[in-house]
Amino acid sequence: MMPKRKRIYLDYAASTPTCAKALKEAERILENNWGNPGSLHEEGRLAISELDKARQNFSEKLGVNFRDVIFISSATEANNLVISGAAAAYRTKHRQGGRIIISSVEHDSVRIPSRALLKSGFEVIEVRPAKNGIVDPHKVLESVSEETFLVSIICANNEVGSIQPIKKIALGLKEKNSKTLLHTDASQALQFMDCSSQSLGADLITLSSQKIYGPRGAGALILPEKIRSLIHPQILGGHQEWGVRSGTENVSAIVGFSAALSCVYKNREKEAARINKLKLALWEGIKKNHRWALINGPLPKNTLPHILNIRFPKVPADALLSALDMQGISASAGSACAMRSPEASPTLLSMGLSETAAKESIRFSIGRPTSSKDIKNTLFALQKSLNDLTGLSG
């Protein structure tokens, strides 16, 4: 019997494995502190104590107050809460729809709920990026009006890795309309960038556990207590998380999330440099073997270290991904949330790619377990796959 070949996973932007420390902490809670944190008895008090420790850790790492950290089930839920909650609060106060500004490279959990507001009389402005996927802050600020109650710009794009000028937008908003809230989804950025409130300048920040080697089922929204009235709750029926998000907290996942956050902060710069070196080696190898390959997004600056989005002209992405998968390589065509959709990536289309070009693009994303040997083996598998698909000899 042939030994099973080791698979090479290069889809860490979609999801990461739970690291040992986070897994250990989550299992500890499941085994010993499974009480409801809303209960007054000892089991409940032990659970709320663990929740408080995790909240304090986020508070310290992100430079916010203890009560500004809202635990939630996922980044998708956090983004929906911000978009729909801000719109509900605005309508309640003004009795009409206002304006929201997003970029056209947002995750679907921002783009889709924003567009849904159009049916309710809200105005939604989508700012297109440059060809490298980076949004011009001046274009964002030009669209800000007196009726603009929210600007939501992703911190770093999940498909091409482009890092957005959030701080510049934040500073400009204070001058243009200080009442406008600024939200950023920092799910992809957290493990590589300083996503503190001071660094980004955003009012609201979305975070995800599964993007930083924490358990699934946990996320966080940085929502300062002083602006809490500007975001109406969307899940009702309880008083958890100070009434912002009803439902018993997933203490085990949250404690694991906190442990993962601590691990990120220990080696962030060193690991970012290591992963970026592997990414550049992958790109250099691709260019050497396939000079006709094209990169989508910025390189080497203003980009996350782990994401590499490449277009292989005249090679359908689904066929290439299938061929790579057969050779033990896991990559993707973009956002995992839209992988079953036959539509071309809205992010790539907004960057100026044609529908055909967008459907010829795949994303490699590198993670902690990735080695230089994995990159070499990936290049070998990629060359074989492309040769097979284009009818070239090995």
User: pLDDT tens digit string along 26-69?
Assistant: 999 999 999 999 999 999 999 999 999 999 999 999 999 999 99
pLDDT at 164 over 90: yes
- DSSP readout, 331-368? -BSS-GGGTT--SPPHHHHHTT--HHHHTTEEEEE--T
Give the pLDDT band (50/70/90) at residue 234. very high
Choose, from 155, 195, 263, 337, the residue flagged as catalytic. 337
Provide the pLDDT for residue 299. Answer: 86
> Which top CATH class is 20-262?
alpha beta
Provide the pLDDT for residue 300. Answer: 86
Q: Encoding tokens for residue 192?
A: 């590589």
Residues of the chain with CATH 3.90.1150.10: 8-17+267-387
Check if 337 is active-site. Answer: yes
For residue 129, is the peptide bond before it cis, meaning its omega torsion is within 30 degrees of 0? no
Quote the pTM value: 0.95
Give the largest Cα separation in the chain, rounded: 71
Cβ contact 100:149 at 8 Å:
yes
Could you tell me where the DSSP H helices lie in 95-212? 108-116, 137-142, 166-176, 197-200
Residues of the chain with CATH 3.40.640.10: 20-262
CA distances to 240, 241, 321, 394 from 389, rounded to whole Å, are 54, 52, 11, 11
- Among 78-87, 99-108, 232-241, whose mean pLDDT is lowest? 232-241
Whole-angstrom distance, CA of residue 156 vs CA of residue 302: 9
What is the per-residue pLDDT across 34-44, written as a single tens digit (0 to 9) for each?
A: 999 999 999 99
C-alpha closest to that of 360 among 349, 373, 369: 349
What is the per-residue pLDDT across 173-195, written as a single tens digit (0 to 9) for each?
A: 999 999 999 999 999 999 999 99
Give the chain's mean pLDDT: 95
Mean pLDDT of 334-338: 58
Fold of 8-17+267-387: Aspartate Aminotransferase, domain 1 (3.90.1150)
DSSP state of 329: E
Cβ contact 332:339 at 8 Å:
yes
